Chain A
């Protein structure tokens, strides 16, 4: 079946602009995650959605970052007033809420802030 889909695959924006990144999880996966992958920094957890529960936002680096998940499916990560240090690959992943089910990742959105 279809995997996790992210769009756009690449985004170049000017410093100070807002950007929206989209994630379409695997159908039936109730848990959705956003991670950020920076060169030499590994994968940094940003936010986690689980069903109708309040999201775990503990990884968001600043209040310029926000995310929502509509109807328990598609999620949008928004970065306001982008800075050059926001340049990274933003990865979305989803999983079933069964014990130890693995994360399934999308191919990511490469964000470049000029």
Chain B
């Protein structure tokens, strides 16, 4: 069945460091891919998405490119801030047809230190 694997945390970085959080998926066909973020004390919210191969999703300085050949959707940011400290979830969805649910990875905790 479909699944998402993301790097385990916690990831601890200094402010202005470069961030990569790896995410790979297993799925047939062409799912849509998402990154969700959960800030402390808040609910999950969509960070960015990509719906087809080679699409790049971006938001708030974060980027991720849908790589069909490597079945990956790694999250990157060039210069992190303390306010980026949160848990990041990679997810895939295949809307339409028999299923309409999002499948999530286990989440990666990012801690950015000043």
Q: Which residues of A contact B (CB under 8 A)?
A: 3-4, 31, 33, 35, 40-43, 45, 48, 50, 56, 59, 91, 93, 99-100, 102-108
Contacts and interface: CB of A to CB of B under 8 A. Distances in A.
A107 B36 CA distance: 14
B32 A50 contact: no
Interface of B: 32, 34, 36, 42-46, 49, 51, 89, 91, 93, 95-96, 99-107
B104 A42 contact: yes
A35 B49 CA distance: 20
Contact of B101 (A41, A56, A99): A56
B89 A42 contact: yes
B43 A105 contact: yes
Contact of B104 (A43, A50, A108): A43
A91 B36 CA distance: 14
A41 to B, nearest CB: 7
Contacts of A105: 36, 43-45
A43 B106 CA distance: 7
25 contacts: A33-B101, A41-B106, A42-B104, A42-B105, A42-B107, A43-B89, A43-B104, A45-B101, A45-B102, A48-B100, A48-B101, A56-B100, A91-B44, A93-B44, A100-B32, A100-B49, A100-B51, A102-B49, A103-B36, A103-B46, A105-B36, A105-B43, A105-B44, A106-B43, A107-B43
A31 B101 CA distance: 10
Contacts of A3: 43
Contacts of A103: 36, 44, 46, 102
A103 B104 CA distance: 12
